[in-house]
Amino acid sequence: MSPPGRLSVRVTVVQASTVVFDTPSTLVKAEQLINLAASKGSQLIVFPEAFVGGYPRFLFSDDSGTKEVPFGDDDRLKYRASAVDLSGPEVERLSQMAAKYQVNMVMGVVERSGTNLYSTVIFWDSQGKLQGSHRKSTILHSESPLWSPGETPSTLPLYATSSAGRIGGLISSDNRLPLLRSMLYERGIQIYCAPTADATKVWKASMTHIAVEGSCFVLSANQFCRQSDYHRYCVEEEEEEKDDAVVSPGGSVIVSPRGEIMEGPRYHGEYVLSTDLGMYVIIHFGNYLNDH
């Protein structure tokens, strides 16, 4: 079922960097981006994985993820301090932003719970209500020094919204787990949100496959980051001239249920990608598959 009275939904995918080790400034940046998307009429905004708290790219200084950078106890404490509690003031402020700009919102955060940190995605409705959250269960080797895996869920909820249909999704590498994806398909997902840190061509292919497989729109958001965004963690003293080298090229993309690329992928800067989703396509494409 599409949103009542709506044949299309205006959506935005944000491709932007965290302000590393500075969550207050990241929240200011988030509101600027939300304001920009809302001014374009967007009803749903999707942010990248770990947008609040920061993806731990600073553990490695090259794209292969093989050259480890020293990361001491003080650094761990700073990273932990950048994470958020789901019942804390940072998440409450994000709820207020969703309500202020009347947008549904999906955002990746680094969640702090007890002694553990998690890569978590949070869903808000356009009234600012936190509808739910999900922790990433498949943690990569490069993430494991800081993040813990969430429990593999027995079910994944969809969130029915008044302005953007049924939304849900998975974080980054969890999207490669067919059983998790099928939970969302079986419940009739319409807009599949995939915050990620993966900018490879294979990722784009995965998003296209998911859109066709699930007869749904796919919105994938990744950060665009340069070494300068990560301060000393990606820059050796003798390599300061490489400070503007790209460490995360982005690749954010919006895909239709037909597998058509509607926006993106973008690889060369921070962008706000917006487009209108014709919700009738889900019904028509689903009927086509059922008839063949």
Cα 8 to Cα 148: distance, rounded to the nearest angstrom: 38
Q: Are the C-beta atoms of residues 175 and 210 closer than 8 Å to each other?
A: yes
Pick from 203, 194, 250, 247: nearest CA to 222: 250
Instruction: Compute how many other C-beta atoms are within 10 angstroms of the C-beta atom of residue 127.
Output: 13
Residue that the structure tokens 């895996």 belong to? 149
49, 90, 111, 143: which is the annotated catalytic residue? Answer: 49
User: Is the backbone of residue 53 left (phi > 0), alpha (psi -120 to 50) or beta?
Assistant: left
Structure-token pair, residue 170: 């998975």
Would you call 49 a catalytic residue per the annotation? yes
Phi, psi of 117 (to 5 degrees): -120, 140
Q: What is the largest CA-CA distance in the chain?
A: 63
- Write phi, then psi, for 48 (nearest 5 degrees): -70, 175
Residues tagged active-site: 49
